[in-house]
Chains A and B, each alone.
Chain A
């Protein structure tokens, strides 16, 4: 999932406070999406733990996966990836089997977050943020949408003013959900139907957009867009007429996770870091800064009520989110997904 910043395509490396920590501490390399933690997180961790952690950025899951697979996980200690990719790291034997005794703050997680289908019992991943994928729209310009069909086959006055996510899994999920299929469906016939539906939908589309769709809503260039809930919040923050909804056919449940690499030479510091993030105050600070829900009960209980009033999707109960199917690793079928997306994007 590429997320949060149009700048993220620029592969910037920010080494925060690398020189300020004491020399004896172990350095720690953390990779995350740009802007997906509060800006002061690494500093705060270094101050609290005496570590010299540095943050590197990846624009997409696939980018960090390419590096991790090529280097067999060497060079990174903690990575933030979406859950299907955490599964891959585990299948490849690159993910550390977690010793819960070293992560006391795991007790802060919602019980639902410790039994997620991709990793029941958190044996190799810790959920960092979670949410849904739905429709983000200008309530002053369009009728309240109800279905994925409102995006895929929009009314005449909305046609040409919609955008869809470009990342393979989420683009396909919009079609899979509309047709009543699993978001992990791989049957070729069903996926051909999904492809045809999305090719048809392309005719009324303004653009595929993973990074600036909320800005298009704010400017009025788009009126109804396919969005991750947390990112819709950035639009809501700029224009209160922007709203988020989950279509009646449902959503996927996506979970972004933290994984410690088995090849890490700084495992103690890595455990310290994930435990630091799961601290009630730190994880709350993350939620308030990035406007995504975090799966941390102690943190969410402390989130300012005014914030949830402004961004209603922040208040969604875990039990309601768990009704949706979690996006899972589909193994070899990922290559078929990539091809389907090429077919959709190459269609006229």
Chain B
């Protein structure tokens, strides 16, 4: 048996799985976007571009921008925190690193909903944080932390932080310590070494982490619903509402189509960054 055929046979279950459960449903949804909504929900099979046009209506476009803002902020914060944590882990003695990474991904062992509910318990007006503040003697009225945009960002950062730690840890741990030593020997300060040597060489990890958090956040609907108290509509909530409450499947499909396009664009940009970085390394190797 040729290697090619063996590869094909080995890959076929995965390909069939993706085709049947990913590609086909996606295509079905995308096709829906071009039909009209029936007066009572259903779908009328008349071609239209109305649904796609509606996505760019100022109301819905604003929700898109808002979601992108929240997702961008969450991804940015997660990158700063995650990079610092990954840097610290990579600086530890090698034998301790697996344990520390294990702790970083430990939250993934519990359900996403449970982790999000935990924040409700922490942040609500009668919650643990407020009661702790009272216990240590704070008398004044505390502002409500829950059901705010900040609470949504906290929830997203918390839930996706481990992705960034892992994606930043990979290039940091592979970094040859001799390169930074050379930089220091040649007179660069620690900060300059970090800024001009370490950081540029680990950008692909940051980019991967950023895109991951951004893509997962912009389509998220659970966290804004639970921690935002339903007061912040993100694009995921809008899609959810079109399918499950407004019964406007064609518009929901059009929204998801644009959302998927944005995500694909970002993932491709991230792939380009990663490729360029790989090229850079090769150049260094040759030079």
Nearest-Cβ distance from residue B223 to partner chain A, whole angstroms: 14
Q: Does B233 make an interface contact (CB < 8 A)?
A: yes
Find out whether the CB atom of A335 lies under 8 angstroms from the CB atom of B63: no
Flag B217-236 by CB within 8 Å of A: 1 or 0 each: 00000000000011111000
A177 in the interface (beta carbon within 8 A): no
Please determine whether A221 and B125 come into contact, CB atoms closer than 8 angstroms. yes
> A207 touching B39 by the CB < 8 A rule?
no
Interface string of B43-60 (1 = CB under 8 A from A): 000000000000000011
With a cutoff of 8 Å between Cβ atoms, the chain B residues found around residue A88 in the complex are 40-41
Bound-complex Cα distance A66 to B60 (A): 23
Flag the segment in B2-10, B242-250, B263-271 that touches A.
B242-250
Q: Given A91, A167, A221, which contacts B40 in the complex, CB threshold below 8 Å? A: A91
In chain B, what residue has the closest Cβ to A206? B147
* A62 to B229 Cα, complex, angstroms: 21
| Residues from chain A with Cβ under 8 Å of B60 in the complex | 342
Does A104 interact with chain B (Cβ within 8 Å)?
no
| Given A209-B229, A342-B238: A62 touches B246 (CB 8 Å cut-off) | yes
A244 to B158, CA, bound (A): 38
**A338–B248 alpha-carbon span in the complex (Å):** 10
- Residues 69 to 84 of chain A near chain B (Cβ within 8 Å): 69-70
A320-337, CB < 8 A from B:
331-332, 334-335
A234 contacts B by Cβ under 8 Å: no
Residues of B within 8 A of A102 (CB): none
**Residues of chain B lying within 8 A (CB to CB) of residue A331:** 39-40
CA–CA, A65 and B245, complex, Å? 9
Whole-angstrom distance between the Cβ of B224 and the nearest chain A Cβ? 10
Residues of chain B within 8 A (CB-CB) of A221 are 124-126
* Chain A residues with CB under 8 A of B276: none
A160-B144 contact given A207-B230, A342-B238, A346-B66, CB 8 Å threshold: yes
**A166 within 8 Å of B (CB atoms):** yes
Question: With an 8 A cutoff between CB atoms, is A193 at the interface?
Answer: no
Q: Is A209 a contact of B230 with CB atoms below 8 Å? A: yes
Q: How far is the CA of A312 from the CA of B122 in the complex (A)?
A: 35
B245, A167: Cβ atoms under 8 Å?
yes
The total number of A-B Cβ pairs within 8 Å is: 87
With both beta carbons as reference points, the residue of chain B lying nearest to A219 in the complex is identified as B126
Residues of A within 8 A of B41 (CB): 62, 65-66, 69, 88
What's the least CB distance linking A87 to chain B, in Å?
10
Q: Tell me whether B229 and A346 are in contact (CB under 8 A).
A: no
Which residues of chain A have C-beta atoms less than 8 A from B144's C-beta? 160, 206
B62 at the interface (CB under 8 A from A): yes
Q: Does B201 interact with chain A (Cβ within 8 Å)? A: no
The chain A residue with its CB closest to the CB of B230 is A208
| Residues of chain A contacted by B244 (CB below 8 angstroms) | 59-60, 62-63, 66
> Does A345 have its Cβ within 8 Å of any Cβ on chain B?
yes
CB distance from A206 to the nearest CB of B (A): 6
Q: How far is the CA of A214 from the CA of B231 in the complex (A)?
A: 18
In the complex, what residues of A have CB within 8 A of residue B241's CB? 338, 342
Q: Please, which residues of chain B bring their CB within 8 A of the CB of A332?
A: 39
For the complex, give the distance between the alpha carbons of A199 and B31 in Å. 35
CB contacts (< 8 Å) of A345 on chain B: these are 230-233, 237
Contact B62 A346 (CB under 8 A): yes
Q: How far is A160 from B59 in the complex, measured between Cα atoms in Å?
A: 26
A99 in contact (CB, < 8 A): no
A291 touches B (CB below 8 Å)? no
| Bound form: Cα–Cα A70–B42 in Å | 6
Q: How far is the CB of A3 from chain B (nearest CB, A)?
A: 14
Q: How far is the CB of A196 from chain B (nearest CB, A)?
A: 15
Contact B63–A346 (Cβ < 8 Å):
yes
* A146, chain B: closest CB distance, angstroms: 25
Per-residue A-contact encoding for B123-144, CB less than 8 Å = 1, 0 else: 0111000000000000000001
Contacts of A163 in B (CB 8 A): 229
State A335–B40 Cα separation when bound (angstroms): 9
Measured CB to CB, the nearest residue on chain B to A160 is: B144
With beta carbons under 8 angstroms apart, the residue of B39, B124, B230 that contacts A166 is B230
Question: Are B233 and A342 in touch, CB under 8 angstroms?
Answer: yes
Residues of A close to B246: CB separation below 8 A: 62, 168, 334-335, 338
Q: Looking at the assembled complex, report how far the CB atom of A238 sits from the nearest CB atom of chain B, in whole angstroms.
A: 14
**Complex CA distance for A159 and B252, rounded to whole angstroms:** 34
Q: A335 and B126: CB pair below 8 A?
A: no
Contacts A221-B125, A338-B241 given; 20 further ones with Cβ under 8 A? A62-B244, A66-B247, A69-B40, A88-B40, A202-B231, A205-B229, A207-B146, A209-B229, A221-B124, A332-B39, A335-B37, A342-B59, A342-B63, A342-B233, A345-B231, A345-B232, A346-B59, A346-B63, A346-B66, A346-B233
12 contacts between A and B (CB under 8 A): A66-B247, A88-B41, A207-B229, A208-B229, A208-B231, A219-B126, A331-B40, A335-B248, A338-B245, A338-B246, A339-B59, A346-B63
Using CB atoms and an 8 Å cutoff, list the residues of chain B in contact with chain A.
37-42, 59-60, 62-63, 66, 124-126, 144, 146-147, 229-233, 237-238, 241, 243-249
